[in-house]
Amino acid sequence: MAWTWTYEKADGTEAGRSSEFETRADAESWVGEAFGDLVDDGVDQVRLFDGETEIYGPMSLHAE
């Protein structure tokens, strides 16, 4: 399966999807590096998927 992130607005409206990653670790490393750019692009939260299966989320990209 391919690992991807779904981008969302604060209200849960989908705002896009990341490229595919081969492993969960690659996907999690990428979002750790890219979260600032995602916030700048208007993304408020993300969800991690393995194929079509949601693994976790929503995860806010804003400081608590």
Quick count: other Cβ atoms within 10 Å of Cβ 11?
7
Over residues 1-28, mean pLDDT: 96
Burial pattern 19-53, b for ≥16 Cβ within 10 A else e, equals eebeeeeebeeebeebbeebeeeebbbbbbbeeee
Confidence at 19, pLDDT banded by 50, 70, 90: very high
What global pTM score does this model have? 0.92
Quick count: other Cβ atoms within 10 Å of Cβ 56?
9
Question: In the prediction, which pLDDT does 63 show?
Answer: 82
Over residues 35-64, mean pLDDT: 94
C-alpha–C-alpha distance, residues 29 and 11, integer Å: 25
Supply the mean pLDDT for the chain: 95
Over residues 3-12, mean pLDDT: 97
In the block, which residue shows the tokens 């998927």?
Answer: 49
